[in-house]
Amino acid sequence: MVRLILAEHFPVLVVAVSLISAFTIVVAGRLNKRSCAVIATATILLQLIMASFILHHVLTNGTIQYRLGGWTPPWGIEYVIDALNAYVLIVVLFLGVICVIYSKRSIEHELPHKIVPFYAVYQLLITGLCGITMTGDIFNMYVFVEITSLAAYALIASASGRALKASFVYLVLGSIGACFFLLGIGFLYAVTGSLNMTDLSLLLPPLYGNRAVQAAFVFFAVGLSIKIALFPLHVWQPDAYTYAPSAVTAIIAATMSKVSVYALIRVIYSVFTLDFITNYRYVDVAICWIAAIGIIAGSVLAIMQHNLKRMLAYSSVSQIGYIVLGIGLSPITAWGLLGAIAHISNHAIMKGCLFLAAGAFIYKYDLWDIRDFEGLGKKMPYASAAFTIAAISMIGVPPSAGFATKLFLIFASLQSVEVFAGSAYVFVGVLLLSSLLNLVYFWRVIERMYFVKHDEALNGGERETKKSEIPLSMLVPTLILAALCIVIGILWLTMMPLPFIEDALFELGVEVVP
């Protein structure tokens, strides 16, 4: 019993511990630089453990509602954790642990003079991400979005040089996105006088025809679209991902966009609810088409890149399209939302693994350009293998994680035939075409790493290649993610996640799948 009661307090602890730890790192870092990594790792690990208790509690006992300071909801801030929050929280913290372990050596190498600020800001980023995930108050969510964004601007800029410009562009666009989000909140508050999500969802239905409410929805959608880098609004993202330090790119690519997607799902389903969307079918169709165009455009842009990290960044633009397409299809079929939710974790794992591997190539040989990758498969066998597995997963070869998403989304598109008519087949076509485009730009890399021979090897004798792997503390996290690409892929196909899916979809008001 004790454990269960404790678990109800974990939501606030997860955020509080993280925030305190961020300041502790600054203080401890003055005394001993090495302690920073240890404190950060320990904190995030602790958070992860708490998060898994939260998930367990939510699945067995139902939604947790935590009132900060004992204030009752419409006035006080409330944390509401249902299955979806808990799941996103675990994804975020798991990737957080992986990246913080990886960053120890990577940051020593890339930012030797900024170790203390790095870990402090990193911890703030995690705090913000956890906050967005757990809060049930929409203004509180905005605050955490800002904390996260500010931390991200700082982390990206820490690489200096071209990263400064990338960070500045991100700062400008990110602020516009946040402003839109805030405007949306303002409109809703003006109309309803409430900021609590549950409360809003009860107050809004009679006001769905109100122009202010509709405008608020558009502000939310556009603001968050900038944050998640949905296709036409992605311009900040490739530079930011390319020039940030490797560990930073990995954590931002893997978790930040996912949490923003989560925020979008939350706003659509827990604030505006399904009825709102169903009334405006054309909004729904528009979202799907934008996502579909984004999927193709992102892949085509990725094919045009030579810089590996930039290529992966464009690939993210395309993959975000998958998630948004799933969200767009979800008013018609629960499979759409399932695809979106599944892809939140799948893409986090795959893209995390790819960026960690890309970071490994940079760490060891300073390789940025795909054209220089010849023989990498022999020189760094494990990092290359991890990259290959994750790439195959991105292409969607069964039984990988990418395959599961593809399956869900294709079926969701097929089920929307009755509503969307011809467009539904277009979406199926887009999903299938996209996996071929993924093949084009990933296989180019794999072919170079393993199969293309050096010019010297072709002309003369085989050049002696020495194996030289990255340090274990970088290698192990990469390999764990690579293994998960397959394991999670198989898990999504089985019945095992069913209780979680039922819970999550039920809380969002979508009818249950199977």
Note whether 407 binds another protein by CB under 8 A. Answer: yes
Phi-psi region of 397 (alpha: psi -120 to 50; beta: other; left: phi over 0): beta
Sites for another protein among residues 311-370 (CB under 8 A): 338
The secondary structure element, H or E, covering residue 37 is helix 35-61
Note whether 134 binds another protein by CB under 8 A. Answer: no
C-beta of 199: minimal distance to another protein in Å?
Answer: 34
What is the rounded CA–CA span in Å between residue 179 and residue 186?
10
C-beta of 495: minimal distance to another protein in Å?
Answer: 5
Task: Note whether 146 and 192 are within 8 A (CB).
Answer: no
Tokens matching residue 497: 């996640």
Please give the C-alpha separations between residue 242 and each of 162, 165, 306, 355, 470, in angstroms, as whole numbers: 9, 12, 12, 10, 20
Q: Which residue has the tokens 């984004």?
A: 294
Using CB under 8 A, which of 234, 367, 492, 503 touches another protein? 492
Note whether 487 binds another protein by CB under 8 A. Answer: no
What is the rounded CA–CA span in Å between residue 215 and residue 204?
13
Residue 511, classified by CB atoms within 10 Å of its CB into exposed (0-12), middle (13-18) or buried (19+), is exposed
Note whether 399 binds another protein by CB under 8 A. Answer: yes
Task: Note whether 508 and 269 are within 8 A (CB).
Answer: yes
Half-sphere exposure of residue 414: CA atoms within 13 angstroms, side-chain side? 7
Q: Which stretch binds another protein (CB under 8 A): 83-91, 126-134, 281-289, 490-498?
A: 490-498
Q: Which stretch binds another protein (CB under 8 A): 57-65, 162-170, 241-249, 427-435?
A: 427-435
For another protein, give the closer residue by CB, 8 or 502: 502
Q: Tell me the per-residue interface mask from 197 to 236 with another protein, x by CB under 8 A, - otherwise.
A: ----------------------------------------
Note whether 296 binds another protein by CB under 8 A. Answer: no
Q: Nearest Cα to 102, choosing from 352, 456, 411, 410?
A: 352
Residue type, 313: A
Sites for another protein among residues 440-459 (CB under 8 A): 443, 447, 450-453
Note whether 392 binds another protein by CB under 8 A. Answer: yes
Give one DSSP letter per residue of 211-230, joined into a string.
HHHHHHHHHHHHHHHHHHT-
Q: Which stretch binds another protein (CB under 8 A): 78-86, 88-96, 106-114, 486-494?
A: 486-494
Q: Which stretch binds another protein (CB under 8 A): 127-135, 279-287, 391-399, 465-473?
A: 391-399
C-beta of 494: minimal distance to another protein in Å?
Answer: 5
Residue type, 90: I
Using CB under 8 A, which of 203, 435, 469, 487 touches another protein? 435
Note whether 493 binds another protein by CB under 8 A. Answer: yes
Overall size of the chain counted in residues: 514
- The whole-angstrom distance between residue 262's C-alpha and the CA centroid of its chain comes to 9
Note whether 512 binds another protein by CB under 8 A. Answer: no
User: Total binding residues for another protein by CB under 8 A?
Assistant: 36
Name the 3-class secondary structure at 413.
helix
Using CB under 8 A, which of 410, 419, 483, 487 touches another protein? 410
Backbone φ, ψ for residue 66 (5° rounding): -115, 120
Using CB under 8 A, which of 179, 432, 472, 512 touches another protein? 432
Sites of contact with another protein (CB under 8 A): 338, 392, 395, 397-399, 403, 406-408, 410-411, 414-415, 417, 428, 432-433, 435-436, 439, 443, 447, 450-453, 492-495, 497-498, 501, 513-514
